[in-house]
Structure 1
Amino acid sequence: MKTTLIACTLIATAVSVSAQFKDPRRTKPKPNIIVFLVDDMGWEDTSVPFWDRLTDKNKRFRTPNMERLAREGVKFTNAYATPVCTPSRVSMITGMNAAHHGVTNWTSPRKDVNADAPDNTLDSAPWNQNGFSPVKGIPHTVYATPLPALLKGAGYYTIHAGKAHWGAMGTPGANPYNMGFLVNIAGHAAGHPQSYLSEENYGNMPGKATAQAVPDLEEYYGTGTFLTEALTREALKALDEPVSRKQPFYLYLAHYAVHVPLQADKRYYQHYLDIGLDDAEAKYASLIEGMDASLGEVMDYLGNRKIASNTIILFMSDNGGLSLAPPRGGAPHTQNLPLRAGKGSVYEGGIREPMLVKWPGVTKEGSVASQYVMIEDFFPSILEMAGIQLYDAVQTIDGKSFVPVLQDPSVTDSLRTLVWHYPNKWIPDGGPGINYKSALRQGRWKVVYDQQQGTAELYDLVADIGEKRDLAAVYPEKTRSLLTSLSQQLQRWNAPMPVLKASGKALPWPENKR
């Protein structure tokens, strides 16, 4: 494989830090760390309930390995990402909130191409449309120190497998090697696969390949191996190198599943047809079960190699479940009920995620944490898990370590604020909470701000998880207070705002709404 050949040239670098495998200040070796990231997976797209009850949607899916991970670790019922993929991935690798790093929308694989849909009255916000860059001075990017580089510098063998989607082609952010990964398997600038099917060479058909064709997996062409399975096999092969040398590793296994195109994983597809799902939903469910099978293979590998007791697994999705229909089956924006809306929205359906963490010796088996956390929290949390206390990062970290929550799931902080900012137009026709929206959560309260209309909504998420009852008129002081906090934070970060075509001026901050 091309990736294996490139990785071999980098082994000398990994060996040079072998003396750091054991930190003299620690009583045992550094833990291995696996981030298992799923694309477009909704909060409810699993047989594991992330609410206080099992829903009918939970009963639809078969995810026995997520159930296994939940039994062995801690389940987060209030975990959040951003409405779309690239902002979440940049937040995870930099520790910055999306409003701060300015990569507020998904990035086109093509350099200098704005992915925003056109609008009659607004010009695009000046967002970082080329994504993240570990190199300073690249136009329309955010420059920051990437998490994998810090881990590699501390002696970790770093492996990337699957979807990258941090930066556009022709920029440093497109290449996982520039992030500090020693191995890259199938990661590039694109945000979804052209095809999951080996029969279609994962998109690499002569004369038909696009920027979304998945690189590097030539040995699987025509073998009947679904993309999710091929990525898992290659990731586990790559682990053999550090495991054999007893070197701590960081595996970032970022599946392309369950992003469109919805294609059937034939290992599981027929079951979902048999239980009455339509074709689109059966394909979607088969993608979910194939992803779960991958998680099981990873966990089995750890057990077979006798390293499970010193390996941390973090499971997360990058945004809420897709609720556009088509390509999903059913009525639009119903796929994540009781959560409102889906991918692209600042309502709960677009941002609330399934999150599981297992840290042997730290997390209590079968525990549940209700403290709300955000995807930028992964950056400081993983560094703390790795015992990296002093590090040089050029950016200011917005994330907060959730290690205290792993140690004691009853820990709560109702004063913390989480911010979402989407000054972009994702789809022409919009939808609930989609296009030009911001939001802030503090404790049980969440304010949603419409940038274009200058209006606000208030929800009590504890009493109303479906965001059905707008309480802004009932609690005007609470609404104003949260809007002020949102506005002040956006201004501190110099967050991008859409621009009125008529005047050439940016839309006002929430507290200065028209």
Structure 2
Amino acid sequence: MRLTPLFPALAALLIPVSHAATDAPNIIIYMVDDLGWNHVQAGKGTMGTTPKRYQTPEIARLAADGLSFTHAYSQPNCAPTRAAMLSGQYPARIHNKVYVVGSLNRGGKNGKFKGPEQGEDVDAEAITVAEALKENGYATAHIGKYHVGGHEGGEATLPEKAGFDINIGGGKQGHQGSCFASKPKNGNKWGFKNVGYGAFDKYAAPYTDEYLKKHGFPAELKGTPKHVSDAVGDALEETVATLAKGDKPFYIQFHTYAVHGPVKARPDLFKKAEARVPTGHKAAGRMAHYLGFIDSLDLNLARMRKMLEDPNGDGDTSDSITKNTLILFTSDNGGTHADNLPLKGNKGMLTEGGIRVPLIACWPGTIPAGTVTDNKVHSVDYYPTYLELAGNKWTPPADTHPLDGTSFADLLKKPTLEDDRDAIFFLFPGYLDTRATPSVVAIDDIAGKRYKLYYYYEGNRWELYCLSDDQEEAKNLIKEEAEKAKTLSVKMLNWLNQEHPTWKPSFPLIRETGKSAGPPPGL
């Protein structure tokens, strides 16, 4: 059942709960939409693979001040990742049936199988991470794209009913309808068409001298339509200023619309980006817009860190909350607007290019600066990590809402810790156009190296790759490393066959009979 809200009114956010007497940090998760693993400068986090055209100085500074993860994994596209982070569970749990955006039959008409029915919302009966953090004394806010509420679950699954004291723009919407504010021909109020249910319209007025000067933006923007990234940044500033006044630690989901399509950059950022597009690029204009869109999210990171340093904006940093705030920067899936080389594939695929994402953690004074780890983490790991940082004063009941993830709180403080996380798993029981067919994946370390095992229902086929030696996934080792493949297949089947009242994995359906295909056969 939904937990009874601890904060029935927004004003209650400012009631003291002895935050000063605890070590629980503020937490901001900055999640970008559709940003590729190496489409940013993230120090050693991208293992030296970032192309020169991607120049993100603020993200690079965040990496220099914090910890970069080389092997952070999401679900293969946006809604499943958001559901996993919100619930702390894989989509095989009864309260999280979000395997893909929309339907599990987006393709595969001639396939041997059919995708089963699925949901698009985290169930109202789930205990969300926001609800759990509220039980631990946190104030909570969501800004931007939500996507996992308001479908079949109705209003009961929207952010304001799922534990968020503040909700700016969150609902069932999957992307922004426009990138620039506009004004109706016969009206005088600026707004963003089909963006966040009108929540960002209060920030939609054209750029003014005062605004441009405050943020260091070029004067040439004066009087031009506001870009959606700047409006989202305005909402963040307002939210941080509000929550920083209280004595509760806070949790903010800052889920920006960038860089999901439509991909349109602010004019000045587009002009700067044009010079970074490789000569002879087949779609130079499109690439310039993509690079400029990435630049806008980099600028929002600068605004975020400035706000944490001076929450009330009076120029006096004595009220800084920087050292008591954990920033996590990541993406909801692999890139889709440009290649992810050397990683194979893109958004929607279970290859590395579809599921490996950037992750940087910054908490000055607590996380060692300029560090890097190759420990593997997954979207389901954030929930238990937050609870541990909050002190685990309250955790969800294991019988009704078990968490599938593993906390990486200790790793944040000691990045040299050995990777003791169990295998990471993926189950995809349907079809996603040409990108994905029914399959199961396991990733784990064996004998000091990282291996990835695939089972494809179509063709009853197994594949094995050593990511430590072959992150391009070019050489199938299923025959040469049969014992390692068998070891991983046992872990995969144990995961699929676990017994728990909440564990109900959906398998592909055999097209001819309509019966479940069940788990893969053992190796």
Contact 1:42 1:354 in 2 (8 A): yes
Separation in 1, partners of 2:80, 2:421: 24
Following TM superposition, by how much is the alpha carbon of 1:387 offset from its aligned partner in structure 2, in angstroms? 1.7
| Cα offsets for 1:473-499 (capped at 9, x unmatched) | 111222222123212212224311111
User: Residue 193 in 1 paired to residue 176 in 2?
Assistant: yes
1:107 Cα deviation from its structure 2 partner: 3.8
Please tell me whether the aligned partners of residues 106 and 115 of structure 1 are also in contact (alpha carbons under 8 angstroms): no
- In structure 2, the residue matched to 1:140 is none
1:332 aligned partner: none
Residue type of the partner of 1:377?
A: D
**Deviation of the 1:9 alpha carbon:** 7.8
Amino acid paired to 1:438 = V
- Unmatched runs of 5 consecutive residues or more in structure 1: 1-7, 137-143, 323-327, 330-334
Q: Secondary structure at the match of 2:453?
A: strand
Q: Which residue of 2 aligns with 1:105?
A: 99
Q: 1:176 aligns with which of 139, 159, 162?
A: 159
Cα contact 1:194–1:214 (8 A) shared by 2: no
In structure 2, relative to structure 1, the CA distance for the partners of 1:398 and 1:283 (3 Å cut) is: same
1:13 aligns with 2:23: no
TM-score with structure 2 setting the length: 0.84
Match of 2:315 in 1: none
1:251 maps to a residue whose letter is I
Aligned Cα root-mean-square deviation (Å): 2.7
Paired residue for 1:383, among 373, 383, 387? 387
Q: Distance in 1 between matches of 2:508 and 2:109?
A: 10
Match of 2:415 among 406, 409, 413: 409
Equivalent residue runs for 1:320-335 within 5 Å:
320-322=334-336, 328=337, 335=339
In structure 2, relative to structure 1, the CA distance for the partners of 1:302 and 1:279 (3 Å cut) is same
Q: Give the CA deviation at 1:381.
A: 0.4
Residue 423 (structure 1) aligned with residue 429 (structure 2) = yes
Match of residue 86 from structure 1? 79
Identity of aligned residues (%): 28
Q: Which aligned pairs between 1:355-504 and structure 2 lie closer than 5 A? A: 355-393=359-397, 394-413=400-419, 416-427=422-433, 430-431=434-435, 434-443=436-445, 444-492=450-498, 493-504=503-514
SS in 1 for 2:51: helix
Query: CA-to-partner distance for each residue in 1:45-92, whole Å, 9 max, x for gaps?
Result: 11224557423x431112111111111111111111110111111111
Check the 8 A contact 1:122/1:498 in 2, yes or no. Answer: no
1:132 alignment counterpart: 122
The whole-number CA distance in structure 2 between the counterparts of 1:405 and 1:465 is 23
C-alpha separation in 2, matches of 1:48 and 1:15: 36
The structural deviation recorded for 1:212 is 6.5
Q: For residues 294 and 377 of structure 1, do their structure 2 counterparts lie closer, same or farther at Cα, with a shift above 3 Å needed?
A: same
Is the contact between residue 44 and residue 50 of structure 1 (CA under 8 Å) also seen in structure 2?
no
Aligned counterpart in structure 2 of residue 354 of structure 1, from 354, 358, 362: 358
**Aligned equivalent of 2:268:** 267
SS in 2 for 1:60: coil
- How far, CA to CA, are the matches of 1:19 and 1:52 in structure 2? 40
Rounded Cα–Cα distance in structure 1 between residues aligned with 2:421 and 2:8: 49
Contact 2:264 2:290 in 1 (8 A): yes
Quick one: distance in 2 between partners of 1:503 and 1:454?
18
State how far apart, in whole Å, the 2-side matches of 1:148 and 1:465 are. 35
- Return closer, same or farther for 1:466/1:344 CA change in 2, 3 Å cut-off: same
Which of 130, 152, 169 is the equivalent residue of 2:134? Answer: 152
Q: Aligned pair count? A: 471
Give the 5 Å matches for 1:31-70: 31-50=25-44, 53-55=47-49, 57-70=50-63
8 Å Cα contact 1:164/1:174 also seen in 2? no
Contact kept in structure 2, 1:20 and 1:154, CA below 8 Å:
no
| Post-superposition offset of 1:275 | 2.8
2:330 paired with 1:340: no
Instruction: Report SS of the residue matched to 2:267.
Output: coil
Q: Which residue of 2 aligns with 1:251?
A: 252
Other structure's SS at 1:487 match: helix
2:380 aligned counterpart, secondary structure: helix
State the alpha-carbon separation in 1 of the partners of residues 104 and 241 from structure 2.
Answer: 40
Q: CA deviation at 1:122?
A: 5.2
Structure 1 contact 48–58 (Cα < 8 Å) conserved: no
Deviation at 1:124, TM superposition (A): 4.2
> What's the offset of the Cα at 1:291?
0.7
Q: Alpha carbons of 1:49 and 1:58: their partners in 2 closer, same or farther (altered >3 Å)?
A: farther
SS of 2:122's equivalent in the other structure is strand
1-structure distance, mates of 2:266, 2:97: 32
Equivalent position of 1:289 in the other structure: 295
Q: Deviations over 1:444-483 (max 9, x none)?
A: 1110111222101100100001111110011122222212
**Residue 415 (structure 1) shift:** 6.5
Letter in 2 for 1:442: D
Please name the residue that 2:148 is paired with: 166
* DSSP-derived class of the 1:42 partner: coil
**C-alpha spacing 1:361/1:123, structure 2 compared with 1 (3 Å):** same
Amino acid at match of 1:468: A
Given that residues 41 and 54 in structure 2 are in contact (C-alpha distance below 8 angstroms), is that contact kept between their aligned partners in structure 1? Answer: yes
Equivalence map 1:19-34=2 (5 Å): 19-23=17-21, 26=22, 28=23, 30-34=24-28
Change (3 A) 1:406 1:91: same
Contact 2:387 2:395 in 1 (8 A): no
Q: Which residue of 2 aligns with 1:5?
A: none
Amino acid of the residue matched to residue 52 of structure 2? Answer: K
Alignment partners' CA distance in 2, 1:458 and 1:154: 42
